[in-house]
Amino acid sequence: MAKRNTYHYYRIYDDREQFNYIRTSLEEQELRKMLKQFEKKNQEYYNTDFLTFLKERGVTAGLIEVTNVYY
């Protein structure tokens, strides 16, 4: 039987004050540690750049697009 991946979902804001949800295999403490590493190397923080940073280090992560549905 294949191992089942566990994903965690987080809300994140960047320097443009853009709000996104991300899905990642990292737990919160690990994610915060990676964020600190990213912030040391970057003057500005953008969600898409942070996801690229995570993926370059072998972390499973992606943005989740949330849209409103009206009826």
- pLDDT attached to residue 10: 92
- pLDDT attached to residue 30: 94
Place of tokens 């750049």: 49
Task: Express each pLDDT in 30-53 by its tens digit.
Answer: 999 999 999 999 888 888 899 999
Domain map (residue ranges) of the chain: 1-38
Please give the C-alpha separations between residue 33 and each of 3, 65, 68, in angstroms, as whole numbers.
26, 24, 32
In this model, does residue 3 exceed pLDDT 80? no
> pTM (2 decimals)?
0.77
**DSSP letter string, 3-67:** PPP--EEEEEE-TT--EEEEEESS-HHHHHHHHHHHHHH-SS--HHHHHHHHHHTT--EEEE---
